[in-house]
């Protein structure tokens, strides 16, 4: 029997983890397919033509169709399977609003900071300080939003949680953020997401592919 979904990904990619989390928590039939980002596989013109012209993971393949952008994939999965999606117009608007905030500011800055902090040999201190301040700002916004809530949209987990939580299980030495110490509402919420049936840590969920090596 062929596996229904193939997720092109790499263990160190929190953006890929967002989609893997949905697939596993929804109990779907899927397998990770490793991509060699460190070796530049995603920069190969053939790979771009066949897999993703944007040169990124995650890519989700189903029935020969290859989809990219975790927010778009999560939306498609929620609509296709009728789980973890928004209920009603207001939640639909909130979902898109948070997915955009996540891609631009929350994951956007957190992942960029991690790349500079852990993967670049000699990050410029000003660049690191700039991106750290932006990341702290995004973390504070989400921490405040979560303080009175169990999940991002209220009482039940949705694709908004899967999107925002994508990078938050990588170890402190990789991210440079001790979330448990500094962001208590985020820490409690990521624990609630980790308690969902199907959750696994990123490197276990996607034991494939190659990322740029860590500095340490
Ligand atoms: N907004 C995109 C971001 C995807 C992204 O940045 N992927 C990274 C890995 S986490 C990547 O493929 N980087 C390789 C590159 O851009 O060269 C999404 O959510 O899918």
pLDDT single digits (tens) 30-46: 999 999 999 999 999 99
Cβ(57) – ligand 1 distance below 6 Å: yes
pLDDT at 182: 98
**How far apart, in Å, do the first and last CA atoms of the chain sit?**
42
Task: Tell me if residue 30 falls in helix, strand or coil.
Answer: strand
Please report, for the chain, the start and end positions of each structural domain, with discontinuous segments joined by +: 5-83+199-205, 88-194
Per-residue pLDDT of 158-180, as tens digits, reads 999 999 999 999 999 999 999 99
CATH number of the domain at 5-83+199-205, please? 3.40.30.10
| Residues 152-176 as b or e (16 or more Cβ within 10 Å = b) | bbeeebbbbbbbbbbbbbbeeebbe
Question: Which of 56, 112, 208 maximizes ligand 1 atoms within 8 Å of its Cβ, making it the mutation to test the pocket?
Answer: 56
**Which CATH number fits the domain 88-194, given the four candidates 2.40.110.10, 1.20.1050.10, 3.30.70.980, 3.40.1530.20?**
1.20.1050.10
Question: Model's pTM, two decimal places?
Answer: 0.97
CA-closest residue to ligand 1 atom 6: 56
CA-closest residue to ligand 1 atom 15: 56
Cβ(209) – ligand 1 distance below 6 Å: no
CA-closest residue to ligand 1 atom 12: 56
Pick from 15, 203, 212, 12: nearest CA to 120: 212
Pairing of strands 5-9, 30-34: parallel
């Amino acid at each position: 029997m062929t596996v229904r979904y193939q997720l092109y990904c790499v263990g160190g990619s929190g953006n890929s983890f967002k989609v893997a989390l949905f697939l596993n928590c929804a109990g779907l039939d899927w397998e990770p397919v490793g991509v060699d980002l460190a070796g530049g596989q995603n920069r190969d013109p053939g790979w771009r033509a066949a897999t993703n012209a944007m040169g990124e993971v995650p890519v989700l393949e189903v029935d020969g169709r290859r989809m990219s952008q975790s927010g778009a994939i999560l939306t498609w999965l929620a609509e296709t399977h009728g789980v973890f999606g928004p209920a009603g117009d207001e939640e639909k608007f909130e979902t898109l609003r948070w997915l955009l905030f996540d891609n631009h500011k929350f994951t956007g800055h957190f992942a960029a900071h991690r790349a500079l902090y852990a993967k670049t040999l000699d990050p410029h201190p000003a660049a690191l300080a700039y991106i750290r301040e932006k990341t702290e700002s995004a973390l504070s916004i989400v921490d405040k939003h979560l303080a009175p809530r169990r999940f991002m949209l209220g009482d039940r987990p949705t694709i908004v949680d899967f999107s925002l939580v994508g990078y938050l299980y990588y170890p402190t030495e990789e991210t440079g953020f001790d979330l448990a110490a500094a962001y208590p509402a985020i820490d409690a919420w990521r624990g609630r997401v980790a308690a969902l049936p199907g959750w696994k840590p990123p490197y276990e969920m996607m034991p494939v592919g190659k990322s740029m090596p860590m500095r340490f």
